[in-house]
Structure 1
């Protein structure tokens, strides 16, 4: 099932269900000005509960606003009995997650295929 995503010039979020998990596919630049669609998708996932995989492979940039949105989403999903996992961290986004230690907070998979197979 494919759910509508959001897209603007700098950031996009696509939402779909794959093998019982909700998959958020992010693209572009995630920052203070573009984070609202991600927050909305995370809120909707938390209401549903279950497993959420966030594909970060198309993300070129993520600042602290994006990281905080993901951390809050992780907490909300955990409280709803679900989980939030990341896939495809690379480049400057992976570096930011390493520097902040956030890569130790989330289950991180090399890519979406590995995440969905886990």
Structure 2
């Protein structure tokens, strides 16, 4: 029922949350030798989810390792500018999706009250 009520927005919010955790992990490991930065291809994960995969399966299938523009000597592939930009972009998408869900919830509340 929640999928019919909230549409794709509930799934999108979960994927954005998981992506936020992954990007935060990349940033936290910027100085860890050999750490490989990862990201989720959000569109691919969302499309896989729409095609019947679970959120976890969709995320795993859309997981990508970053290729650094400039390789580091210690094998770490985190580039802070890239990670911070991706984090900010994802945060905006998360906030937008959350607002869309709030709008849907408010609409349902008004309908239940008969307004």
TM-score, normalised with respect to structure 2: 0.26
Q: Which has the higher contact order (CA 8 A, sep 6+)?
A: 2
Return the structure number with greater helix share: 2
Greater fraction strand: 1
Pair member with larger Rg: 2
